[in-house]
Amino acid sequence: MSRLLVCAPDYFRIDYEINPWMRLSNAVVPERARAQWHGLMRLLEAKIGALLERMEPVPGLPDMVFTANAGVAVGRRAVPSRFRHPERQREESYFEAWFRDHGYEVTTLDKDLYFEGAGDLLGLPDAWFGGYRQRSDIRAYGRLSEIFGREIIPVELVNSHFYHLDTCFCPLSGGELLYYPPAFDRYAQAAIAERIGEARRLVVPESEALRFACNAVCVAKQVVLPEGCPETIKRLEARGYTTHPLPLDEFMKAGGSAKCLTLALE
Ligand code: ARG
């Protein structure tokens, strides 16, 4: 059973611009956002069989819907995020409190060691990968590697449209990787290729990467992804995955999609 932390979009809106997708002039339509979010939740519960842990949204924290950035939780241990932008730093205490109130053993990072949670740290059976440059600090991965006792391969994100690792990199349950290579520098592309053989790498075309095809939720053989990604769907289905495309464009206005709206609680 897969447990996911989610937070309803009650206060979701575009209040500031901290990534190239966000424009103050491109306002969220609240009832559409609500309907899209509930559609995702229904699908996760009914089709994916996920158990949803819902946290209380907080007025004035519009990006709290993106619980992938709450932190990272493995077993009973959790490390809450340290956001780079002051606009999101106010979310930190709420996420930390949630982990504490739910029995996690919480380890906090220094204030200036930026780390944006499962938005930037993702694992495959072979290795964990940590995205850095745009949001998280490469130094965070040395510390996280000590905390979790796992090797973490830092990968540099070079395109501001793909500012979190989960916007361009999606490990699948069968050990394959769905990703968009140009979002990484050459060294990171080589590090990924070295760990994950070509037969296991599913490359997403640019047009679909820009529709957040990689921001997918994969549980067992089910993949939930934003609609408008037919090539990605073909590639996934050829590997035996069942795909569930959903309209999530209201969340793209903030630079997010399906995966960012969830945090896997192992
Ligand atoms: N507006 C949010 C930000 O820029 C979106 C976060 C999306 N989260 C993610 N894990 N990719 O921080």
User: What's the full length of the chain, in residues?
Assistant: 266
Determine whether 260 is an active site residue. yes
Contact 241 CB / ligand 1 (< 6 Å):
no
Distance CA 218, CA 91 (A): 26
Domain count, the chain: 1
pLDDT band at 266 (very low <50, low <70, confident <90, very high): confident
Catalytic residue among 38, 161, 164, 244, which?
Answer: 164
What mean pLDDT is predicted for residues 193-200?
Answer: 97
Q: Assess contact for 23 and 226: CB atoms under 8 A.
A: no
Supply the DSSP string of 133-171, one letter for each residue. SSSS-HHHHHHHHHHHT--EEEEEB--TTS-SGGGTEEE
pLDDT band at 134 (very low <50, low <70, confident <90, very high): very high
Residues 19-36 have pLDDT tens digits of: 999 999 999 999 999 999
pTM of the model: 0.98
Distances, alpha carbon 216 to alpha carbons 212, 224, 261, 263, in Å: 8, 5, 10, 12
Q: Assess contact for 126 and 194: CB atoms under 8 A.
A: no
Distance CA 219, CA 58 (A): 28
**164 pLDDT above the threshold of 90:** yes
Q: Assess contact for 202 and 156: CB atoms under 8 A.
A: no
Residues 209-235 have pLDDT tens digits of: 999 999 999 999 999 999 999 999 999
| pLDDT value, residue 1 | 75
CATH number at residue 10: 3.75.10.10
Distance CA 171, CA 91 (A): 26
| pLDDT value, residue 240 | 98
Q: Which helix (H) or strand (E) holds 92?
A: helix 92-101
**98 pLDDT above the threshold of 90:** yes
Torsion-angle region of 250 (φ positive above 0: left; ψ -120 to 50: alpha; else: beta): alpha
Range of the domain at 138: 3-264
Catalytic residue among 7, 168, 229, 260, which?
Answer: 260
- Say which amino acid occupies 265: L
Q: What is the mean pLDDT of the chain?
A: 97
**165 pLDDT above the threshold of 90:** yes
What mean pLDDT is predicted for residues 132-151?
Answer: 97
Contact 44 CB / ligand 1 (< 6 Å):
no
pLDDT band at 246 (very low <50, low <70, confident <90, very high): very high
For tokens 């937070």, name the residue: 7
Contact 235 CB / ligand 1 (< 6 Å):
no
Widest pairwise Cα distance in the chain: 46
- Say which amino acid occupies 90: R
Query: How many CB atoms are closer than 10 A to CB 247?
Result: 14
